[in-house]
Amino acid sequence: MSPADQDASFIASALPAFFSEAHEQLQALEQLLLELEDDSSNRQLLDALFRCAHTIKGSAGLFGLEAVVAFTHHVETELDLLREGRMRLSAAMSTLLLRCKDEILDLLAKAQNSQDDKVADAQRRSALIQELQALGGQTPVAVDLAINSTAEGTAPQLAETTGLWHLNLRYGPDAFRSGLDPMALLNYLRGMGEIQALRCGSARLPSLLTLDPESCYLDFEFDFETSADRASIESAFSFVQDDCDIELWAQADAAPSPAAGAEPTTSPSPTAKPTESAPPATRVGSANAPAEEQRFIRVQADRLDAVINLLGELVIASAGANLLARQTRQGALVEANAQISKLVEEIRNGTLQLRMVPIGETFSRFRRVVRDTAAELGKEVQLDIIGGETELDKSVVERIADPLMHLVRNGLDHGLETPAERRAAGKPEQGRLTLSACHEAGSILIRIDDDGRGIHRQKVLQRAWERGLLEPELVPPDEEILQLIFAPGFSTAEKVTNLSGRGVGMDVVRSNIEALRGNVQITSTEGQGSRIEIRLPLTLAIIDGFLVSVGYSKFVFPLEAVVEVIEDRPSLNALDSRGRGVVELRGQVLPVVGLRKLYALDSPAPERASIVVLQSAGRRYGVQVDALLGQHQTVIKPLGRMFRSLRGMSGSSILGNGEVALIFDVHSLSQLAAAPPPSSSGTFMLSPTFASSQHIAQQEGRCS
């Protein structure tokens, strides 16, 4: 393979990592800008902001993405002025920098998808650069940015080249081992200006007999014409300073001036600060990384999903082996299988932890949404984030982002008032929107609170009557009125805008949340505000469960929801037709639901039963069961089509003997225990043998 082919192969393999890291840097840049709006003089934030742009520019230069380099260079210049204190971050500058961040994101998307620029795109970037120059106190200069093209040989160059410099680069012998590509650095410099009279020295090149192919012997000397100042040029070498000696001087200088240090051949000066996040090519095998530095490795999500799927099958197989071992009654075999089960559980916990991420990363994305939407609506809004460290499965995080986005925008549009309206209502002009998260009984509870106008129930009823969602003049309970907001096609907006009024969104929000085995509830006080609560499972893969049986049927409760188990009480013999009743527990009334009547299970009642006490949403209730089968590692499987409408259930699991157990949604079950369903149509008949996977497959075949 020729060197050119090797370079092309390296770029093709490393580009996905670059794009992933560039998106992370842009996300960090956005969050830092929003934080700086409240603390514009924070030097640490300003330095981190500059490093984000510098890392993106440096990494893009290594891959020859000159359009990204050219535009980001101007953004970096303004950020350098900010961190050096030569200008302050105003609201206008923050807005402009956020627009520039979006432009860099667009450039990356075009590069990633091999899309060519349009003339309008280059003109838009040029206009943004002139705005940057004007806000930075510079005279706006028309910048002729070349159009970003995927065609070979059409990489754009910076049009401003007014200063002439001379550089000597002397790479250390370990440069290749540190993952450096000297040619990529030259390509990066071409994004800042024009390289002239390039000479490659050979004085250090040994004979072929003593040449080490893994060592670097390269020296470069060249003239460099650019509009960049000394600090900007030096900063270009910040991520190679440990493996390259640089001499830099202006052509007008009387003698060569080292970039830094007392010796003539040194690394860049202290003003050229190293980036905290090096480009992908420089992160491989870094010999100078501190020992205590955290190490990371990127893994494709589908590979991790495949491992977790296999882990689920391993858990099921382990449960089956344990069952067989107990049946043999051989102590040594039982003990060996118990040890294997313990190791499987440790592997399970460690593997699932790989997919757990703080929800605060998702919450932080809404700072920009709140900022821009509030400005568009002419409202003043403060966003508070509570419990951002709460962790849940990454697959849940990815799928909850869109529903949360709609709920946040809906709260900004419908919930919070304008400053004038808030003044008239005796409220502060600035509204407050709060995103919070916490763990609760094996689930995650997400709340969206606002101190706005609340939901006008009469207005909701009027729209429901007009759209035929309710019979005319029928007034259901308050809770059911609020739930009408999630009906398809429902909207209380007076006119259609780009935010609301089309009656699509809230019904999709509910269906998306329910698809994650979650639920959503609304509470509201007119004139004071609203609260939306979303309950979701922590993971969609494997949970610790508590296995019980009723007749021939097996059920699983999430273990974290189980409070205690008590003996059955004689008073429960008087359960109503839907299986509801109450018992006294330590002087308190405890609602209880009997699964046999609730699901019309056709099996004889046992002489002795138990009540499993569960907790959900701060309330306790009991579930009457026949037998307690103990703790069980539960691999979550989706419900078949026949069982998806079954209230109180969130999934199913395969037991070690091949039987199927249904997994309870403890929150939905608590609602069934506290109040009867609106009609008897909610009763679902289960045959005595429904726990057979073969029977379920046969039933689904008939349904289809």
Q: Are residues 41 and 76 in the same domain?
A: yes
**DSSP per residue, 586-615:** TTEEEEEEEHHHHTT--SPPPSS-EEEEEE
Of 26, 72, 29, nearest to 228 (Cα)?
72
Q: How confident is the model over 528-535, as a mean pLDDT?
A: 92
Rounded to the nearest 5°, which phi and psi values hold at 686? -115, 130
Cβ(581)–Cβ(597) below 8 Å: no
| CA-wise closest residue to 195 among 169, 231, 176 | 169
User: Does residue 290 sit within a domain?
Assistant: no
Q: 160 in helix, strand or coil?
A: coil
Q: Which residues pair with 437 in a beta bridge?
A: 446
CATH of the domain at 520: 3.30.565.10
DSSP 361: H
Say whether both 349 and 398 belong to one domain: no
458 with 574, same domain?
no
Question: Which pLDDT score, from 0 to 100, does residue 474 have?
Answer: 82
Residues 472 and 502 in one domain: yes
Q: Greatest CA separation found in the chain?
A: 104
Are 210 and 306 in a shared domain?
Answer: no
* Concatenated DSSP letters of 637-654: BPPPGGGTT-TTEEEEEE
- Residues 372, 409 contacting (CB under 8 angstroms): no
CATH of the domain at 89: 1.20.120.160
For residue 55, being part of any structural domain is answered with yes
Q: Which of 451, 506, 517, 516 is nearest to 484 (CA)?
A: 506
The answer as to whether 150 is a domain residue is: no
Buried b (16+ CB within 10 A) or exposed e, 86-104: eeebeeebbebbbebbebb
CA atoms within 13 A on the CB side of 249: 12
Q: How distant, in Å, are the alpha carbons of 94, 136, 138, 472 from that of 88?
A: 10, 9, 14, 60
- Looking at the fold, whether 347 and 363 belong to one and the same domain comes out as no
Tell me which of 537, 559, 582 is where a domain ends: 537
431 shares its domain with 500:
yes
Does one domain contain both 167 and 256? yes
Residue 145 lies in a domain: no
27-31, 86-90, 253-257: which has the highest mean pLDDT?
A: 27-31
| 640-654: average pLDDT | 77
Q: How confident is the model at residue 97 (pLDDT cuts 50, 70, 90)?
A: very high
In a domain, 413, yes or no: yes
**Nearest Cα to Cα of residue 55 among 16, 29, 85, 84:** 29
Domain membership of residue 280 (yes or no) is no
Task: Supply the DSSP symbol for 103.
Answer: H
Last residue of a domain, one of 506, 537, 568: 537
pLDDT digits (tens, 9 = 90+) for 339-363: 998 898 888 888 888 888 899 888 9
Domain of 655: which CATH number?
Answer: 2.40.50.180
143 domain residue, yes or no: no
Domain assignment present for residue 85? The answer is yes
Same domain, 110 and 53: yes
Number of domains in the chain: 5
Same-domain pairing of 518 and 375: yes
User: Looking at the DSSP assignment, which residues form a beta bridge with residue 419?
Assistant: none
Range of the domain at 308: 301-355
> pLDDT (tens digit, 9 = 90+) per residue, 136-167?
766 555 554 544 544 333 333 333 435 788 88
| CATH number of the structural domain spanning residue 237 | 3.30.70.60
How much is the average pLDDT of 588-612? 86
Q: What's the pLDDT tens digit per position in 355-413? A: 888 998 889 888 988 998 998 899 999 999 999 999 888 888 888 888 899 999 989 98
Q: Are residues 215 and 313 in the same domain?
A: no
**pLDDT tier at 424 (50, 70, 90 boundaries)?**
very high
Q: State whether 336 and 254 are in the same domain.
A: no
Between residues 690 and 477, the one the model is more confident about:
477
